[in-house]
Amino acid sequence: MIDALARLLGLKEGDAGAPLRSLRWVVVDCESSGLDPARDHLLSIGAVAVREGRIDLADVFNAVLRQERPSEGGNILVHGIGADAQLAGREPAEALGEFDRYVAGSAPAAFHADFDRALLARALPGWKARWLDLAQLAPALYPARARECKSLDEWLAGFGIWHPARHDALADAYATAQLLLVLLVEAERQGLATAGELYAAQRNRRWLG
Partner 1 sequence: MTSLHEATIAALKAYPPFDHVGASSLRFLAARLQLGYYPRATAIVTPEGGVVQTMYIIKQGRVRGFASGGSEARAAADVALGAGECFPLGALAGRRAVVYTYRAEEDCFCWELTADDFHKLVQRSPRFSAFCRGHVAALLERSQRALCADAGETMAGGMLRPLREVLSRAPVSCAPDTPVREALKTMHDLRIGSMVVAEDGVPKGIFTVLDVLDRVALPRADVSAPISSLMSGSVVALEEEAPVVEAALAMVHHHIRHVVITRDGRLTGVISERDLFGMQRISLRRIVERVRIAQVVPQLAEAAAGVRSLAHSLLAQGVAAEQLTQMASALNDGIAQRVVALASQKHALRGEWCWLALGSEGRLEQTLATDQDNALIIADGSSRQVFLAFAGEVNEALAACGFPLCKGEIMARNPKWCLSLEEWRALFSGWIRNPQPEALLNASIFFDFRALAGEARLAGELRSFVLRAASGNKAFQRAMAASALQSRPPEDPLLPFLSQAETLDLKGNGARAFVDGARLLALAHGLAATSTAARLRGAAKAGALPQAEAAAFVDAFHFIQMLRLRRQYLEAKVAPATENQVTAARLNAIDQRILKEAFRQARILQQRLQMDYAV
Residues that bind partner 1 (CB under 8 A): 48, 53-58, 60, 62, 159-162, 164-165, 168, 170-171, 174, 177-178, 181-182, 185-186, 189
Q: Of 61, 206, 189, which is closest to residue 146 (Cα–Cα)?
A: 206
Measured in degrees and rounded to the nearest 5, phi and psi for residue 141 equal -85, -30
Residue 16 or residue 187: which is nearer to partner 1 going by CB?
187
Q: How far is the CB of 150 from partner 1 (least distance, A)?
A: 21
Residue 16 or residue 25: which is nearer to partner 1 going by CB?
25
| Residues 175-191: b if buried by 16+ CB within 10 A, e if exposed | bbbbbbbbbbeebeeee
Packed helices 195-208 and 169-189: angle between N→C axes, nearest 10 degrees: 100
> Residues in the chain, how many?
209
Q: How far is the CB of 57 from partner 1 (least distance, A)?
A: 5
Residue 19 or residue 53: which is nearer to partner 1 going by CB?
53
How far apart CA 142 and CA 53 sit, in angstroms, is 19
Q: How far is the CB of 46 from partner 1 (least distance, A)?
A: 8
Q: How far is the CB of 120 from partner 1 (least distance, A)?
A: 20
Residue 135 or residue 177: which is nearer to partner 1 going by CB?
177
What's 167's DSSP letter? T
Residue 95 or residue 129: which is nearer to partner 1 going by CB?
95
Is the backbone of residue 53 left (phi > 0), alpha (psi -120 to 50) or beta? left
Q: How far is the CB of 128 from partner 1 (least distance, A)?
A: 28
Q: Are 71 and 86 in contact (CB under 8 A)?
A: yes
